[in-house]
């Protein structure tokens, strides 16, 4: 009796095995085990980016120029002395300096939108924040090497190649910072 049950089980595995495997609840292409690494590695995965960017630029120039031209004539006679002189002096000093400081700190989740050779991840994402009617939008895109993604599935913005980080704002505060047309016209005419 044992032999017939074993033979029946063997026949079931041989003929029904492929049918049972096709009806699996697990997709072998996308399955990650409970102990698997949770870092982004394929298209559609999410990644957290810590944005900490600071840019400072300073430029200065100065010019000093001075020139002097003098002509002096004197005539002496036994009774009088005539003396005349003409002089021209000029100096010019010009200085200019510009400085620009920008800083952005944010945390944004992005999506892997493509893969490049070597497993390099193409990422892109945006975040919109509205506070008191002021709308701020952060957009970020770039390339991330898999080894730069930490174990908690995050990456710092300075580790992103070809990074494009854009912060724009629109609302009452932004509108109040814009110059009026009249002001810009007077500035163009150099009246201000």
* Average pLDDT of the segment spanning 111-119: 90
pLDDT single digits (tens) 40-83? 677 888 899 999 888 788 877 777 767 676 677 666 667 777 77
At 155 the pLDDT is 93
At 88 the pLDDT is 65
Distance, in Å, from the CA atom of 80 to the CA atom of 50, rounded to the nearest integer, reads: 89
* Average pLDDT of the segment spanning 34-41: 63
Domain ranges of the chain: 46-188
* Average pLDDT of the segment spanning 78-100: 72
At 156 the pLDDT is 93
Distance, in Å, from the CA atom of 122 to the CA atom of 168, rounded to the nearest integer, reads: 22
Higher-scoring residue by pLDDT: 31, 1: 31
> In this structure, are residues 146 and 137 in contact, taking their beta carbons and an 8 Å threshold?
no
pLDDT single digits (tens) 150-168? 888 899 999 999 999 888 8
At 151 the pLDDT is 86
Instruction: Say which range, 126-130, 145-149, 166-170, has the weakest mean pLDDT.
Output: 166-170
At 133 the pLDDT is 82
Taking residue 183's Cβ as centre, other Cβ atoms within 10 Å add up to 11
**Residue 30 pLDDT greater than 70, yes or no:** no
């Amino acid at each position: 009796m044992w032999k017939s049950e074993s033979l029946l089980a063997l026949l079931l595995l041989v003929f029904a095995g492929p049918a049972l495997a096709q009806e699996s609840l697990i997709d072998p292409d996308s399955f990650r085990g409970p102990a698997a690494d949770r870092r982004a590695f394929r298209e559609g995965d999410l990644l957290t980016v810590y944005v900490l960017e600071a840019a400072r630029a300073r430029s200065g120039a100065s010019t000093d120029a001075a020139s002097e031209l003098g002509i002096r004539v004197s005539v002496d006679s036994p009774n009088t002395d005539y003396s005349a002189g003409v002089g021209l002096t000029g100096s010019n000093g010009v200085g200019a300096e510009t400085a620009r400081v920008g800083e952005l700190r944010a945390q944004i989740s992005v999506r892997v939108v493509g893969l490049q050779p070597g497993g390099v991840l193409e990422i892109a994402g945006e975040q919109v924040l509205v506070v008191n009617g002021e709308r701020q939008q952060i957009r970020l895109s770039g390339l991330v090497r898999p080894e730069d993604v930490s174990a908690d599935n995050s990456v710092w913005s300075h580790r992103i190649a070809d990074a494009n980080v854009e912060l724009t704002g629109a609302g009452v505060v932004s509108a109040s910072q814009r110059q009026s047309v009249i002001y810009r016209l007077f500035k163009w005419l150099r009246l201000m």
